[in-house]
Amino acid sequence: MTMKASSRQVDGVTIVDLSGRITLGEGSVVLRDTVKDLSTQGHKKILLNLGDVTYIDSSGIGELVSAFTSVRNAGGELKLLNLTKKVHDLLQITKLYTVFDISDDEASAINSFNR
């Protein structure tokens, strides 16, 4: 399954709904290009919805980290929403669970940007 990304705006937050596999190759490129385009367009509050991400490998994890640091370096914030158990476990094993701001509730996640 290829990866798809679509974005929407809610209360000033750009939510990116991702689905499919974030792996070396197409999936990683889609994520990278999507976040890069949003940053270029000036979006500073980005919430990646990973609820329909079925699979992620070390390259995909690296792409999430890269997205996080590039948005932060541009003065913005990137947070994660709706991790599946597989993605949750991977972020925990790699100690990245403490790096990312992660939420299971979209409304709470949106509010957390506006504090």
Partner 1 sequence: MNATRVSYTLDSTLASVNKAEQAVAEVAAKSGFDEDECGRIALAVREATVNAVLHGNRYDPTKRVTVSFESIPDSLTITVRDEGPGLDTRLIPDPLAPENLLKQSGRGIFLIRAFMDEVRFRTMSPGTEITMIKFVRGADRDGNKEANQ
Instruction: Name the residue nearer to partner 1 (CB basis): 57 or 106.
Output: 57
Give CA–CA dist 54/86, Å, rounded: 8
Binding site for partner 1 (CB under 8 A): 23-25, 57-59, 61-63, 65-66, 68-69, 86, 90, 93-96, 99
Shortest distance (Å) from residue 70 CB to partner 1: 10
Instruction: Name the residue nearer to partner 1 (CB basis): 84 or 112.
Output: 84
Q: Judge whether 27 and 21 are in contact, CB under 8 Å.
A: yes
How would you classify the pairing of strands 4-10 and 77-81?
unpaired
Instruction: Name the residue nearer to partner 1 (CB basis): 59 or 111.
Output: 59
Give CA–CA dist 77/66, Å, rounded: 13
